[in-house]
Amino acid sequence: KRVAILISGGGSNMIKLVESMVGDHPARAVLVASNDAAAGGLEKAARMGVPTAAIDHRPYAKDRAAFEAELLKPILAAEPDILCLAGFMRVLTPGFVERFSGRMLNIHPSLLPKYPGLHTHKRALEAGDTEAGCTVHEVTPVLDDGPILGQARVPVETGDTPETLAARVLVQEHRLYPAVLRAFAQGERGLITL
């Protein structure tokens, strides 16, 4: 299977995904693309030998569909079977999402369906949750709402800040996403719980 990964920043999840696709793994990374040419993950992907592309979304501030038409060019050229969003911070239109229906994954830093959207750790702390975590789900036109493929849980510790909780969750993201991608690429669809 050919996997394209979309990032917006440092790409720590992308790095773990690329590093996992070796040996007898049924998938290989064929592209890392970003909406920001300055995304640190692009250089790391290039160093790992993965082709990269950057489409700055800012010139298309008013026209999301025009940005996506540009973003689609390198993606379609790479002929991916699976698209992984990994720290990708642009909302995609239903038109884009439907092109990859059933084969686009995203990692979200909360135990969905709790806390879709942003500032998930701050919201979990403010709610007094004793547990937090991350979710890998199939991407559907509704933000952070598709079928859940895997989840990992962490305890909330007293004195946690959004930053300390985010760091604890990120460690689990780096375990969960590669595990879910490998199963997904092999056609397995059971829920993975770490």
Cα–Cα distance, 194 to 191 (Å, whole number) = 10
- Residue 179 near ligand GRF by CB under 6 A: no
Residues 6+ apart with CB under 8 A from 40: 9, 10, 11
Measured from the CB atom, is 41 or 80 closer to ligand GRF?
41
Residues numbered 4 to 43 that lie near ligand GRF (CB under 6 A) are: 7, 9-14
DSSP letter at 59? G
Interface size with ligand GRF, residues (CB under 6 A): 14
Amino acid at 81: D
Q: Which residues, 6+ apart, have CB-to-CB distance to 167 below 8 Å?
A: none
- The question of whether 108 is a catalytic residue gets the answer yes
> In terms of CB distance, is 56 or 79 closer to ligand GRF?
56
| Position 162 contacts ligand GRF (CB under 6 A) | no
Q: How many CB atoms lie under 10 A from the CB of residue 38?
A: 10
Contact footprint for ligand GRF (CB under 6 A)? 7, 9-14, 86-87, 107, 109, 134, 170, 173
**Residue set of the binding site for (6R)-10-formyltetrahydrofolate:** 64, 106
